Amino acid sequence: MPAADSAAPGLTPTGDAPKERGVDQLAIDTIRTLAMDAVQKADSGHPGTPMGLAPVAYTLWRDFLRYDPDKPDWPGRDRFVLSAGHASMLLYALLHLTGVKRVDSGGKLTGGPAVGLDDIKQFRQIGSVCPGHPEYRLTTGVETTTGPLGQGCGDSVGMAMAQRWLACRYDRADTSLFDYNVYVICGDGDLMEGVSSEAASLAGHLKLSNLCWIYDSNTISIEGHTTLAFTEDVAARFRAYGWNTLEVADANDCEAVAKAIRTFQATDDRPTLIVVHSIIGYGAPHKQNTSQAHGEALGEDEVRATKRFYGWPEDAHFLVPDGVREHFDATFGARGRAARAQWDKTLTAYGKENAEEAEAVRRMWAGALPEGWDAAIPSFPADPTGMATRDAGGKVLNAIAPRVPWLIGGAADLSPSTKTNLTFPEAGDFQSGDYGGRNLHFGVREHAMGAIVNGLTLSGLRGYGSTFLIFVDYMKPPVRLAALMEVPSIFVFTHDSIGLGEDGPTHQPVEQLASLRAVPGLITLRPCDANETAEAWRVLLGQTREPACLVLSRQKLPTLDRGRYASAAGVAQGAYVLAGDDAAPQVILLATGSEVAPCIEVFERLKAEGIAARVVSMPSWDLFERQDQAYRDQVLPLSVTARVAVESAASLGWDRYVGAAGEVIAMRTFGASAPIEALQAKFGFTTDHIYAAAKAQLDRARAGG
């Protein structure tokens, strides 16, 4: 393919359509002008990167990307991730020009375009499938939500790991179902963010040769030239990570771009970084190499001048010249349809020879679980000594995982503490020498772990990652994005309170539960004992569109006698009456996790005094809020105002359950380094203190307060 010449010889600056020119250049400039026009109409967005990178993206899609526009959810497709999500118009233009078909929220192919020209005209407007940054589920063809820089890079490593695992488990010597590549376009901002460094380091360690990052080195950030803060040798850094690094001196040189991608495809022992040098806002006469071309519309005069530079009709808006769509269909479309047709034949033959594996793959793609997946979940006998819920969680996980072959994950170098290691003989470790292992070792890389888990889940697997609850602060962006994308990623957080003791306030989470509960669409579960932990796993693994956080204790918690108290199955409703079946209790004690057991002790003391008390276990506020009003009023009768909530975390939010007059025993400062008993006494998490609070609430209610 010839270089995309900047001079565009033989073209005239005015007219109804571009004059005679090569179809490659015509297609590239169509991408550019669609981006310019969309940003200008919205008066918002980033035109510069789509303009500068159009030749690179065009070359990748035209000649290499294996993708059937008629079946965009085809499992054998290559993945394209625009980590530089601010350049969203680059992707929307490609999806439009290649004729990718729309898939609805239920996974059904509609036959309509994923991105129509009218959608592009509504760029960044309410209800448009062309939002400011690409959003998974909203726009067919978007493989993952990007925008927070570096997240797409992290997700892509999970996607590449998923391909390797799937191929190792399901491919056969003569049959390959999973041989796709993962391509990423990233920019300076992506590679400044720490998450991309964490992810790149792990990808290099794992030798993920199916992963190609195309780095747009345009030397511009929002504040100005990257020399303000980013002067390292990026290629040298990636070579140190164990990557193959290539360089393209000019983004307009399509031949050089193609050569670099061919080199990536021929590399089988490491991931590849292609450093492409581009001019942001290429062709814009006054704003190239400025931050304005990165983050603002060019302005009508600049748009006209730039179109003149391209040899484009200055007064044409959202113009797609005749032949451009047909050209993409004859190249990108034809290649993808042929590859998918052959893949379908391979799958049919595979199913005849490997019926059990084919059924597993079908269920995995459908987001379903195997029959009897939860049959081995243990039931724990009553035990006043009990066990830490992290220990119970490990037992439950290892009961489930052998029956759900695509449940894979690990910890940020903490599996001996989080108890998330899969211990059955067939589990194995995922390493470059054996990609079939199900124990993932993320290293001390919490942020990348969260993004990689999302990438695994986006690829059809049930990915999980674990660390201490305090370190959710290091990985909040991917947790939030999992909820935004509606993907059922699993995050296990242990060491959930001041109960971890001597490690002190640097490791004792206080505000983390409140921050997780604030995320829309994220299920947070903090079980009170081993059986609630088992039910929590049953709940979270049954999700198909929502991520979940499982918050577990380091210290032992009593395993409650479920013959005496209510069944732990109430976890599914988020909150339930654990003790006290009186229709009109005098006082209600509410708690989660480790604070439920002392509430039970207080309940027994009050019961012995003839006081009708109730204990409500609330492992998940999120699930409780989804119950109908009748159920919520049954659990928390409006007539009962004497209420005490107990949780060794921040008090934020508890007022909705105890009311203005109720009492909340919670953390209002950071913890301290001391044995757990001393901490409980200092901060009021003792039965005596809870009992006194309950009595005070009773006195207030009796006095009409």
Q: Which of 2, 85, 11 is nearest to 50 (CA)?
A: 85
The owner of tokens 């047909």 is 326
Taking the mean position of all CA atoms in its chain, how far away is CA 105?
17
> DSSP string covering 305-374, please?
HHHHHHT--TT--S---TTHHHHHIIIIIHHHHHHHHHHHHHHHHHHHH-HHHHHHHHHHHHT---TTTT
Phi, psi of 195 (to 5 degrees): -60, -35
Beta strands, E only, 43-85: 79-82
Distance CA 43, CA 29 (A): 20
Catalytic residue among 193, 446, 535, 595: 446
Q: How would you label 272-304 residue by residue, b for 16+ Cβ within 10 Å and e otherwise?
A: bbbbbbbbbbbbbeebbbbbbbbbbbbeeebbb
The backbone region for 292, taken as left when phi is positive above 0, alpha when psi lies in -120 to 50, beta otherwise, is alpha
- Contact between 148 and 481 under an 8 Å Cβ cutoff? The reply is yes
Task: Indicate the pairing of strand 182-187 with strand 211-217.
Answer: parallel
Chain centroid to CA 319: how far?
36
Dihedral, CA atoms, 566, 572, 575, 579, nearest 10 degrees? 0
- Give the Cα separation of 550 and 494 in Å (integer): 8
- In SS3 terms, 536-573 reads as HHHHHHCCCCCCEEEECCCCEEEECCCCCCCCHHHHHH
What values do phi and psi take at 506, rounded to 5? -65, -25
Residue linked to tokens 């059924």: 359
Cα distance between residue 56 and residue 62, in whole Å: 10
d(CA 410, CA 384): 30
DSSP letters along 219-271, please? -EETTEEGGGT--S-HHHHHHHHT-EEEEES-TT-HHHHHHHHHHHHH--SS-
Alpha helices in 367-473 (DSSP H): 389-400, 415-418, 446-458
261 and 59 Cβ atoms separated by less than 8 Å: yes
- The answer to whether 643 touches 616, Cβ cutoff 8 Å, is no
- Residue 356: active-site member: no
Residues carrying an active site annotation? 446
